[in-house]
């Protein structure tokens, strides 16, 4: 290794579950690039100190995950338009001249995954229904609106959170009642589960999904080794389904390219390397 081998990593707490080191490790090996990508378990109280130290340790950037996404945004020296709209960052570049440059690539990953899996989908295809109003839902909703979706229905168990999301970043969305999910699902061209229902160790999927039909594309941002309950239910009703694993893979692309200088590909070999 020379003195200038680029280092990157994912900062979070807890971090042991993160698949990002496998994603970037696969790409580094596949393209024969010098560099390393490591998990960085950093507690909330230590985040600012870690962020200040990393560039001096040879890091060219980092991904940021729970619970640091908002703090990373605040501490950055420069922010992309997407990070600014969301008030949260997941990808940082340590630039010798500009300092910490923050971006948010979750929405990019969501749209790229959808387009890869369902090339026939386009923003004008019909109404979109998004379930959930947490951090990931914010990125998904902004990406869908920027893609040109004309009608976006949003419902969340806690209505006030959906209303706050609308008021803060997406005045175009229509907030509907969680208890009336059938109405929100009826006639939707695309339905997105952006709640944590169905994630391993998380809450069960309890929503009545019978209004999803053969004309619908259903996509889950929750990823699991097998099919998630949301996707199984949608498939049983004839919908075309898109899993959330691809979103995780695609959101990693911009960071890798900026840190290591090569645009990476999402393909079956990557999926096998990360899941295997």
Ligand X SMILES: NC(=O)c1ccc[n+]([C@@H]2O[C@H](COP(=O)([O-])OP(=O)(O)OC[C@H]3O[C@@H](n4cnc5c(N)ncnc54)[C@H](OP(=O)(O)O)[C@@H]3O)[C@@H](O)[C@H]2O)c1
Catalytic center residues: 69
Taking CB under 6 A as the criterion, the residue among 14, 124, 180, 203 binding ligand X is: 203
137 binds ligand X (CB under 6 A): yes
What is the rounded distance in angstroms from the CA atom of residue 260 to the CA atom of residue 138?
A: 28
Residue 130: CB partners within 8 Å, gap ≥ 6? Answer: 137, 140, 141, 144, 152, 153, 154, 155, 173, 191, 192, 194
91 binds ligand X (CB under 6 A): no
71 binds ligand X (CB under 6 A): no
219 binds ligand X (CB under 6 A): no
CB atoms within 10 A of CB 34: 11
What is the rounded distance in angstroms from the CA atom of residue 261 to the CA atom of residue 276?
A: 26
Residue 33: CB partners within 8 Å, gap ≥ 6? Answer: 27, 260, 261, 262
What is the rounded distance in angstroms from the CA atom of residue 63 to the CA atom of residue 263?
A: 16
What is the rounded distance in angstroms from the CA atom of residue 271 to the CA atom of residue 276?
A: 8
Q: Would you give the binding string for ligand X spanning residues 233-272, x where CB under 6 A is met? A: -----------x--xx--x---------------------
13 binds ligand X (CB under 6 A): no
Identify which of residues 137 and 145 has a Cβ nearer to ligand X in the complex: 137
Identify which of residues 71 and 161 has a Cβ nearer to ligand X in the complex: 161
DSSP 38: E
Identify which of residues 35 and 132 has a Cβ nearer to ligand X in the complex: 132
How near is the Cβ of 105 to ligand X at its closest, in Å?
10
Identify which of residues 75 and 199 has a Cβ nearer to ligand X in the complex: 199
Taking CB under 6 A as the criterion, the residue among 63, 195, 216, 219 binding ligand X is: 195
228 binds ligand X (CB under 6 A): no
How near is the Cβ of 198 to ligand X at its closest, in Å?
8
How near is the Cβ of 2 to ligand X at its closest, in Å?
33
**Strands across the sheet containing 59-64:** 36-41, 7-12, 59-64, 91-95, 99-103, 78-79
Please name the residue ranges forming H helices in 31-122: 47-53, 69-75, 81-86, 106-117
What is the rounded distance in angstroms from the CA atom of residue 175 to the CA atom of residue 256?
A: 36
How near is the Cβ of 127 to ligand X at its closest, in Å?
19
How near is the Cβ of 226 to ligand X at its closest, in Å?
15
157 binds ligand X (CB under 6 A): yes
Taking CB under 6 A as the criterion, the residue among 94, 108, 223, 230 binding ligand X is: 223
CB atoms within 10 A of CB 135: 18
Enumerate binding residues for ligand X (CB under 6 A).
Answer: 106, 109, 132-137, 156-158, 161, 195-197, 199, 202-203, 221-223, 244, 247-248, 251
């Amino acid at each position: 290794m020379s003195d200038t081998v680029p280092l990157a990593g994912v900062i979070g707490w807890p971090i042991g579950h993160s698949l990002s080191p496998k994603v970037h490790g696969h790409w580094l090996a596949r393209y024969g690039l010098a560099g390393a990508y490591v998990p960085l378990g950093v507690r909330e109280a230590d985040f600012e100190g870690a962020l200040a130290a990393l560039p001096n340790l040879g890091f060219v950037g980092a991904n940021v995950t729970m619970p640091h996404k908002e703090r990373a945004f605040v501490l950055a020296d420069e922010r992309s338009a997407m990070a600014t709209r969301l008030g949260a960052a997941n990808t940082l570049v340590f630039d010798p001249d500009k300092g910490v440059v923050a971006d948010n690539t979750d929405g990019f990953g969501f749209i790229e995954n959808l387009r890869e899996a369902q090339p026939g989908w386009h923003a004008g295809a019909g109404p979109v229904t998004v379930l959930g109003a947490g951090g990931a839902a914010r990125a998904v909703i902004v990406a869908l609106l920027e893609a040109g979706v004309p009608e976006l229905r949003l419902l969340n168990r806690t209505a006030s959170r959906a209303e706050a999301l609308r008021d803060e970043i997406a005045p175009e969305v229509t907030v509907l009642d969680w208890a009336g999910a059938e109405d929100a699902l009826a006639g939707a061209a695309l339905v997105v589960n952006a709640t944590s229902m169905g994630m391993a160790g998380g809450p069960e999927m309890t929503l009545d999904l019978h209004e999803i039909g053969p004309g619908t594309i259903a996509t889950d941002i929750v990823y699991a080794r097998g099919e998630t309950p949301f996707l199984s239910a949608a498939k049983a009703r004839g919908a075309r389904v898109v899993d959330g694993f691809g979103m995780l893979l695609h959101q990693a692309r911009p960071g890798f390219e900026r840190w290591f200088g090569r645009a990476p590909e999402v393909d079956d070999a990557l999926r096998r390397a990360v899941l295997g």
